[in-house]
Structure 1
């Protein structure tokens, strides 16, 4: 498409310049011949495409209709100055010069531009053919290059994505096992009152293996989104408000340990979006985890859900260290490290991938020392479940939990 637009633009510029040059050259040449004919030409033997009209002299048989222009002849006689004009008539253009000769006769010279206009049309026709040939050649070249170079590159990228997905999938099981055994050893170490250094080492091992498992989950989700962003078989209406509250509940131990106050506010009814629940859960979880990681003890995190004009909004605001506003977009780059030293890993980059795949957006605002705010917007579900039924199901879940 870009190549075609470039060819079209180039030929349009070339055609415009060539047409302007040709028009100017033709006009100059015709006017020179017309002035000479009006001054010295023989009315009975005028050049090709030229007619000379003289009062009292019968025009040639092939003279164009509507000439001479008698008003110009009267003006030239009274003023003594030549009169030049362009006349569009009979599906062509005529150049007309009327002047008073030295012998006292008024002569009007008329030139038919029919052939010059045809030359200009032929120029544009030739340029159109050249453009068509250029577009066909560009398309053929693109196909050949696609097969020769782009095709293997695309295949290499596809193999890379498959490798990431396969490796992450194969590693997840043993890492899950290592994580479970590390947790068991950590609990035994605490029960058997091993030295504090040993217990701390096991705790750090549990944390490291857990983070490694999270990275693998991110890689798997990223690979699956790139391979099939829509994942239509798994899409359904998801209550984003209930999902956000569930994510907060899952992180309650972490927030309690950090003495963080977390609130969730929103409409009193379910707020539905269409999507893959596991991916959306990962996205909301990343927003909350990011806020927890960058908010000091005793801080506050507010999650607010809104619904308006077919759009569902979710904002996560914290009272943490914040960031330089100039870094707002760079936060979503993989493994970006901010000026404050905070590292963001795959999480926020994957978050944007997830939301983009769901037709949504995410923006970040903040300032150093004044916290950060991440705002998510997603299209509201086009066919949400009946809100009454959903509310009843939520109420039943609460009664069951009680």
Structure 2
């Protein structure tokens, strides 16, 4: 798919943005993974350490002076003044006394977590050790806070890195596109003169062949040569126009109000002989009033001409082509409908791809792709609607503009109407 310069710049910016987003996402993912691993390692280490201290306190700790963050409960021993509420857990003490086995549990209470172990000591006393994990939980929160700060710093670094990487990695693409545009423009420009000369010489030879009454096969061969060279010249014109629009789609100095209705009438008049030769009826509706759009007249003429030429080429003898113009809000619409073979709805968008050929052998080549480039470079849209066997309808929608100022004592001049 080809892009105008605006579309190319948009695509380049999107490519840079994608690289920045992907870089940020990778850094974020790595930071989250590091955080999860660090949290898992810290949680496991804290849990093992707490259970070790708890088991030691339950089996050997001094009931009157237990380790830090630990409280020891036993029959006949008064708990410390700072002991948490709700302990000891009598059910665990009774179970340990009854079974002779240690009982361990985790208790969530008062916004913190307690680890509890009840067991029978070697001297026969039943002791319950309670460990408050509030400091361990605070360490975990501090860890995630530090990781959050690191994540913010990482995102800033990712944005900077992504921007730099995006520019470095996308720069060759942008340069390649620019080189491609220059090559197409230069090649098309350089080839136009010799192709024009060949075309003119072929026309002269064809006329001389008819005047000299050469054999029919020779005259037919020269006519085919004229047609082939003419089509080659048209392709070169398409490429040059495409490269010109792509290189500088705005070209404000060359833009002016263009009467699209008058222009369409003129194009229809130019194609009248060709349509008549094919036995087609061409009607124009809405060309009686001026409908101005801002743009480059030569480019818009090429776009309208492509639509009409496309319809003539794909409408069988005896068919009908309708060209309609109307104002729609702040835009001007030009619609070309035909009674040709149409196309599958799924092909509508792909018709505007260069050298795409529809599944039914329909429209293809540079023309419709160039048409879209012209229309989009003028801030408009083009759509295609069709169904197999029921014809096709192409609609160009362009922003309208005010009529050009008319100098005092002069008569406004617009494109000729057909």
The answer to whether TM tops 0.5 is yes
Distance 1:16 1:199 in 2: 78
Are 1:57 and 2:75 matched, yes or no?
Answer: no
SS at match of 1:334: coil
Q: Quote the residue 1:16 is aligned against.
A: 32
Q: Quote the residue 1:121 is aligned against.
A: 145
Distance 1:107 1:401 in 2: 102
The 5 Å alignment of 1:270-309 reads 270-309=290-329
Distance 2:65 2:253 in 1: 87
Gaps of 5+ in 1: 60-66, 89-93
Q: Quote the residue 1:258 is aligned against.
A: 278
Q: Are the aligned partners of 1:4 and 1:135 in contact in 2 as well (CA < 8 Å)?
A: yes
Deviation for aligned residue 1:237: 3.1
Q: Quote the residue 2:5 is aligned against.
A: none
Q: Are the aligned partners of 1:73 and 1:98 in contact in 2 as well (CA < 8 Å)?
A: no
Q: Deviations over 1:258-293 (max 9, x none)?
A: 121112234864333332221121111111101101
Distance 2:62 2:27 in 1: 44
Q: Are the aligned partners of 1:80 and 1:99 in contact in 2 as well (CA < 8 Å)?
A: no
Deviation for aligned residue 1:21: 4.4
Gaps of 5+ in 2: 1-16, 95-104
Distance 1:43 1:255 in 2: 110
Work out which of the residue numbers 385, 389, 392 in structure 2 matches 1:372. Answer: 392
Are 1:6 and 2:22 matched, yes or no?
Answer: yes
Q: For CA contacts below 8 A with separation 6 or more, give which structure has more relative contact order.
A: 2
Q: Quote the residue 1:95 is aligned against.
A: 113
Deviation for aligned residue 1:118: 1.8
Distance 2:332 2:372 in 1: 16
Are 1:223 and 2:243 matched, yes or no?
Answer: yes
Work out which of the residue numbers 108, 111, 115 in structure 2 matches 1:85. Answer: 108
CA 1:237/1:56 → structure 2, altered by over 3 Å: closer, same or farther? same
SS at match of 1:304: strand
The 5 Å alignment of 1:3-402 reads 3-27=19-43, 30=46, 33=50, 36=54, 45-47=65-67, 50=69, 52=71, 57-59=80-82, 68=84, 70=85, 72-73=86-87, 76=89, 84-85=107-108, 87-88=110-111, 94-96=112-114, 109-111=131-133, 112=135, 113-129=137-153, 136=160, 139-141=163-165, 150-151=171-172, 155=175, 157-180=177-200, 182-183=202-203, 197=217, 199-266=219-286, 269-342=289-362, 344-378=364-398, 380-381=399-400, 383-385=401-403
Deviation for aligned residue 1:126: 4.3
Q: Are the aligned partners of 2:70 and 2:132 in contact in 1 as well (CA < 8 Å)?
A: yes
Deviation for aligned residue 1:87: 4.7
SS at match of 1:9: helix
Q: Are the aligned partners of 2:54 and 2:130 in contact in 1 as well (CA < 8 Å)?
A: no
